[in-house]
Structure 1
Amino acid sequence: MPVSSNYPLVDIPEVDLWTFLFERKDRAYPDDKILYQDADTQRHYTYKSLRDASLDFGKGLKAIYEWRKNDVLALFTPNSVDTPVVMWGTLWAGGILSPANPGYTVDELAFQLKNSGAKGLVTQAQLLSVAREAAKRVGMSEDRIILIGDQRDPDARVKHFTSVRNISGATRYRKQKINPAKDVAFLVYSSGTTGVPKGVMLSHLNIVANIRQQYIGEGGMLSWDGGHDGKGDRVLAFLPFYHIYGLTCLITQALYKGYHLIVMAKFDIEKWCAHVQNYRCTFSYIVPPVVLLLGKHPVVDKYDLSSLRMMNCGAAPLTQELVEAVYSRIKVGIKQGYGLSETSPTTHSQRWEDWRVAMGSVGRLMPNMEAKYMTMPEDGSEAKEVAVGQVGELYLRGPNVFLGYHENPEATRGCLSEDGWFQTGDVGYQDAKGNFYITDRVKELIKYKGFQVPPAELEGYLVDNDAIDDVAVIGIESETHGSEVPMACVVRSAKSKSSGISEKDEAANIIKWLDSKVASHKRLRGGVQFVDEIPKNPSGKILRRILKQKFKGAAEAPKAKL
């Protein structure tokens, strides 16, 4: 039987995002409260300047481009304090925002522009050449490319967003009427870890719901007048704004709660530490690779990180040992959460006071949500529900669950039932107190002679080995074993490299070390491969398919270097 969240039901107003955030009656913070600030230049937006600039941009879209309801504006840029202006202005005009990874090639960006049907493209000067070529390939005219950031187009052929405004002063432009439950606000593209990216359609109501769910689930711990000095929490933001994690948990939550968001264009461990120290940041959303750096990188000891009250980690589960290692070093707790692009994103989160309780879990189900755990039959038979406490594939239902995949009804039918249950593809279990534990992804489980081996479980052990800085476990086919077998791709630690131990001997040591900790079917029968880095997407998820392609057949081959 499905389980419901143990939080009380929360009120979720059926309004569009602009109304929810800019026309609310319960905003506690003042107009001059700084919401978004560039970490390097200190350029910033207050609530009032944000609202004014967003209205200008939204009216400009209508005046210059005759923007219509459901027109898509693509966003191809690193994090910028100008992103929220474009975002809210687009939604005011009735448009849909579709952010793209700034690391995309021309081909990848052109795919998203074509698939989304984008009518315009926002970028920054350093990406203009890629943006121009991608736009050209899909037939988008150059005058529909818009720049944000501090730089202008040296040729003056591409408009800066500050020029996209209602210059004539015409009064006929009004906020577009929206159906919150049906109209799309964000068209975000899945990371493509298993294939071609899919456009995830998230409605206005999906995002409104998740903001309310997060606020209750977090206990309202971040606020405009909180923090150590009563001047408000300062949240250091490096997670990409083109990901739903950044759109909802950073940009939208900052506006809803009124806290001060310090915006980094990209992550750098020393800059992150320096910004925490200089801005006295109180909170940061992080991902597992950052946790590893905080636990092991020598530069961390140079900075005062004592202003941090808490950190929140998503994307992949953390072991108790890793959380404790970071806490013992910098005396800051790490609570965990879980979510997906298709759920706007947050579905589970540990409460602040519970970060040391049920370590390894991602916390409790958000308010107004239901969950059930299902079998994973491989013979095509119908999945059956398992009892709470048993391992199964997680299915979720709630007001934050997406509308479907853009122009991909087959993929939508494959994971979203008519009665609203979303099949996550993640495997785990729920304990008696409602804490959810992720054990792996259905598609990533290694099948060894009928046994299911979760890569994340083995990675949880291996990352605690002193010889290992980072690790990914993959399944590779082995003719010798007549089955898929686990292989570890390892980034060797400086300590291990300086020890004089050869790669061959260190690999043998790692295999033997893990053998003593796991059942026989979970042993590294595929061996150990040493690599320079583990490929991951910007949200921290391991790109196993890249490693699988690289090491195909390696179970029978001499050990290689990536």
Structure 2
Amino acid sequence: MPTESKYPTPPIPDVDLWGFLFERKDRQFPDDKVIYFDPYTKGSYTYAQVKNTAVEFGKGLKALWDWQKGDVLALFTPNCIDTPAVTWGCHWAGGILSPANPGYTVDELAFQLRDAGAKALVTQLPFIQTARAAAAKVGIPEDRVIIMGDQRDATHKAKHFTSIRNTSGSARYRRTKLKPADDLAFLVYSSGTTGHPKGVMLSHRNIVANTMMIKMAEGGNLDWQGGPSGEGDKLLAFLPFFHIYGLTCLIHQSLYSGLQLVVMPKFDLEDFCRIIQEQKVTFGYVVPPVVLLLSKHPVVAKYDLSTLRMMNSGAAPLTRELVDSVYNRLTIPIKQGYGLSETSPTTHTQPWSDWNKTIGSVGTLLPYQTAKYMSAEEKEVVPGEVGELWIKGPNVFKGYLNNPEGTAHALTEDGYFKTGDVGYQDKEGNFYITDRVKELIKYKGFQVPPAELEGILVSHPKINDVAVIGVYHEEHATELPRAYVVPAAGVENHEKEKLEIATWLSERVANHKKLRGGVHFVDEIPKSVSGKILRRALKAKALEEMKAAKAKL
């Protein structure tokens, strides 16, 4: 039988995001509560300032560009405290926001703008050239590429979003009425494993539901008042706002719960530690690569991180070795959560009280969720058996934009989303994710989860970072597990060192999980901005290595 969430399930209000966030009757914190804070410039937005700025921007969109319901506004920018106001101003005007990775090339950005049907683009000044070039490729007029942030365009060619807010004649416009379950709030782009990114269609109801789910999971522990500084809990935001993890867990949760979000434009380890110390940050959403740095990097020892009461890791599997390593070094507990772009994102998290009881688990189902693990033959498996996770709930997306085939493959007729993630649940209802279906290494019929081996290997004192992939070996007619290792400082690139690592692992895993594909030293592991290992880049590297080796024969 499918597993149901054990949380209470209060009714989800039938309102769009604007009504949910700004017209609610149950808000406890005051209008002047500072929600978004920039630790570099000391700029900030209170709850009231976000609301007022968003209304003005939304009115400006309608007055200047005749903004219509369903029009798409693209956002091409690192994290910025202006992002929430721009986002909800777009929603106020009936629009859909489509955030894009600021690391995109012109062609990559142009693909998203074209696929989403974007009518305008917001960026920051350092990214204006790429933004303009991509906009020109898809026919977005130059005057619809605007900037936000602290910098202004000295040439005055690009308008600042504040000038959109101040458009004359905008006062007469009213908020666009939306249907929460039907109308889209966001078009986020999921990287996938092959081909172009897919546009994930998320409705207002999807995000409303997920924000409520996160609140119910974290709400008893995170408070808008109190805390070590008397200012309430503070969350550190370096996770990108263009990714669903940052979009919902950071931007929406902070405003809904009255928590201060300390906003970093990008991750920098020393800044991360310094800001936690200076701002007395109490909670952090992180990803495994950051957990790894906290466990090993010497710069961490320079700072006092003791105000951190908890961290939550997501985006990739987290192992006991990493959790124990950070706790032993810093006495900071780390729980784990799980979610996907298609589920808005969070579907599971470990309760705070269970962080050290079920390490390795992504926790239990959040409210409104139903889930089951399915075999390759699409038959439900019993607790303890491995299968693909399928999830159903009000947070599950509406489908992939312009991709009916992908949508049909991902969603079942009875509403389940096939996550593509492999794992199992125990008898107590704790869920475990071991790997992606497509990333499992097949060695002579045995399944080898790369994340499991990586979790063990990072605890080796001579390893700073690691990724494991399968490389096909013609002679053996099977994939062989291979580790790409970033060695610790002072470790020589010698066969003796590599053999030692392979032997060390073989003593800790089953026979079919040994590193028969070898150990290769590299300068860094390629990763996405959300912390996922880019295994396809490593597989391409392995292919080149094998071609080079053959050429020498």
AA partner of residue 388 (structure 2): E
CA–CA separation in structure 1 for the residues paired with 2:232 and 2:344: 26
CA–CA separation in structure 2 for the residues paired with 1:556 and 1:436: 41
CA–CA separation in structure 2 for the residues paired with 1:430 and 1:491: 33
> Where does residue 464 of structure 2 map in the other structure?
469
**CA gap 1:162/1:171 in 2 versus in 1, 3 angstroms:** closer
CA–CA separation in structure 2 for the residues paired with 1:438 and 1:73: 35
Q: CA deviation at 1:158?
A: 0.8
CA–CA separation in structure 1 for the residues paired with 2:404 and 2:372: 24
CA–CA separation in structure 2 for the residues paired with 1:558 and 1:463: 28
Q: CA deviation at 1:82?
A: 0.5
Q: CA deviation at 1:29?
A: 0.7
1:14-40: CA deviations, max 9, x gaps?
110000000001111111110001120
> Where does residue 535 of structure 1 map in the other structure?
526
1:396 is aligned, of 391, 394, 402, to 391
Contact 1:466 1:495 in 2 (8 A): no
Q: Secondary structure at the match of 1:281?
A: coil
Deviates more, 1:307-316 or 1:337-346: 307-316
Is 1:37 equivalent to 2:37 in the alignment?
yes
> Where does residue 503 of structure 1 map in the other structure?
494
CA–CA separation in structure 2 for the residues paired with 1:554 and 1:133: 36
> Where does residue 281 of structure 1 map in the other structure?
281
Contact 2:17 2:207 in 1 (8 A): yes
> Where does residue 540 of structure 2 map in the other structure?
549
Deviates more, 1:43-52 or 1:191-200: 191-200
AA partner of residue 249 (structure 1): C
> Where does residue 488 of structure 2 map in the other structure?
493
* Aligned length, in residue pairs: 551
Contact 1:427 1:442 in 2 (8 A): yes
CA–CA separation in structure 2 for the residues paired with 1:466 and 1:543: 24
Equivalent runs, 1:104-123 vs 2, <5 Å: 104-123=104-123
1:74-132: CA deviations, max 9, x gaps?
00000000001100100110000000000000010000000000000000000001001
CA–CA separation in structure 1 for the residues paired with 2:495 and 2:298: 27
Contact 2:60 2:170 in 1 (8 A): no
CA–CA separation in structure 2 for the residues paired with 1:556 and 1:34: 57
Q: CA deviation at 1:222?
A: 1.3
CA–CA separation in structure 1 for the residues paired with 2:348 and 2:158: 43
CA–CA separation in structure 2 for the residues paired with 1:553 and 1:414: 33
Contact 1:45 1:81 in 2 (8 A): yes
CA–CA separation in structure 1 for the residues paired with 2:154 and 2:471: 51
1:392-441: CA deviations, max 9, x gaps?
10000000000000010000001111211000000001111111111111
CA–CA separation in structure 2 for the residues paired with 1:148 and 1:330: 37
1:514 is aligned, of 486, 498, 505, to 505
**CA gap 1:166/1:364 in 2 versus in 1, 3 angstroms:** same
- TM-score of the superposed pair, with normalisation by structure 1: 0.96
Q: CA deviation at 1:483?
A: 1.1
CA–CA separation in structure 1 for the residues paired with 2:204 and 2:370: 20
Is 1:453 equivalent to 2:448 in the alignment?
yes
Q: CA deviation at 1:557?
A: 6.4
CA–CA separation in structure 2 for the residues paired with 1:171 and 1:236: 36
CA–CA separation in structure 2 for the residues paired with 1:213 and 1:388: 24
Deviates more, 1:79-88 or 1:191-200: 191-200
Equivalent runs, 1:46-445 vs 2, <5 Å: 46-165=46-165, 167-376=167-376, 382-445=377-440
CA–CA separation in structure 1 for the residues paired with 2:170 and 2:395: 37
Q: CA deviation at 1:558?
A: 5.2
CA–CA separation in structure 2 for the residues paired with 1:555 and 1:427: 29
Q: CA deviation at 1:8?
A: 2.1
AA partner of residue 458 (structure 2): V
Contact 2:466 2:525 in 1 (8 A): yes
Contact 1:206 1:400 in 2 (8 A): yes
Q: Secondary structure at the match of 2:102?
A: coil
Q: CA deviation at 1:49?
A: 1.1
CA–CA separation in structure 2 for the residues paired with 1:317 and 1:452: 17
1:193-215: CA deviations, max 9, x gaps?
43320000000000000011111
**CA gap 1:518/1:66 in 2 versus in 1, 3 angstroms:** same
1:429-487: CA deviations, max 9, x gaps?
11111111111110001111111111111111111111111111111111121111111
CA–CA separation in structure 2 for the residues paired with 1:125 and 1:220: 40
What runs of 5+ residues in structure 2 fail to find an aligned partner? none
CA–CA separation in structure 2 for the residues paired with 1:329 and 1:524: 29
CA–CA separation in structure 2 for the residues paired with 1:546 and 1:463: 20
CA–CA separation in structure 2 for the residues paired with 1:66 and 1:131: 22
CA–CA separation in structure 1 for the residues paired with 2:193 and 2:310: 30
Contact 1:478 1:553 in 2 (8 A): no
CA–CA separation in structure 1 for the residues paired with 2:427 and 2:173: 54
| Root mean square deviation of aligned Cα | 1.5
AA partner of residue 29 (structure 1): F
AA partner of residue 480 (structure 1): E
Contact 2:480 2:517 in 1 (8 A): yes
Q: CA deviation at 1:309?
A: 0.9
CA–CA separation in structure 1 for the residues paired with 2:338 and 2:194: 19
CA–CA separation in structure 1 for the residues paired with 2:503 and 2:213: 45
Q: CA deviation at 1:171?
A: 4.2
Contact 1:527 1:555 in 2 (8 A): no
Contact 2:62 2:170 in 1 (8 A): no
Deviates more, 1:112-121 or 1:222-231: 222-231
CA–CA separation in structure 2 for the residues paired with 1:296 and 1:495: 15
Deviates more, 1:509-518 or 1:343-352: 509-518
> Where does residue 3 of structure 1 map in the other structure?
3
Q: CA deviation at 1:371?
A: 0.4
Is 1:484 equivalent to 2:479 in the alignment?
yes
Q: Which runs of 4+ in 1 moved over 2 A?
A: 165-172, 191-195, 553-559
AA partner of residue 129 (structure 1): Q
AA partner of residue 468 (structure 2): V
1:349-368: CA deviations, max 9, x gaps?
01111111111111111111
AA partner of residue 50 (structure 2): L
Q: CA deviation at 1:166?
A: 5.1
CA–CA separation in structure 2 for the residues paired with 1:152 and 1:96: 25
Identity of aligned residues (%): 64
> Where does residue 379 of structure 1 map in the other structure?
none
1:43-84: CA deviations, max 9, x gaps?
000111111111010000000011000100000000000001
CA–CA separation in structure 1 for the residues paired with 2:277 and 2:398: 41
CA–CA separation in structure 1 for the residues paired with 2:445 and 2:168: 70
Q: Secondary structure at the match of 1:273?
A: helix
Q: CA deviation at 1:554?
A: 4.2
CA–CA separation in structure 1 for the residues paired with 2:63 and 2:125: 24
CA–CA separation in structure 2 for the residues paired with 1:417 and 1:14: 25
**CA gap 1:533/1:249 in 2 versus in 1, 3 angstroms:** same
Is 1:525 equivalent to 2:516 in the alignment?
yes
1:543-562: CA deviations, max 9, x gaps?
10001011116468659xxx
Q: CA deviation at 1:516?
A: 1.2
What runs of 5+ residues in structure 1 fail to find an aligned partner? 377-381
Contact 1:10 1:368 in 2 (8 A): no
Deviates more, 1:507-516 or 1:216-225: 216-225
AA partner of residue 543 (structure 1): L
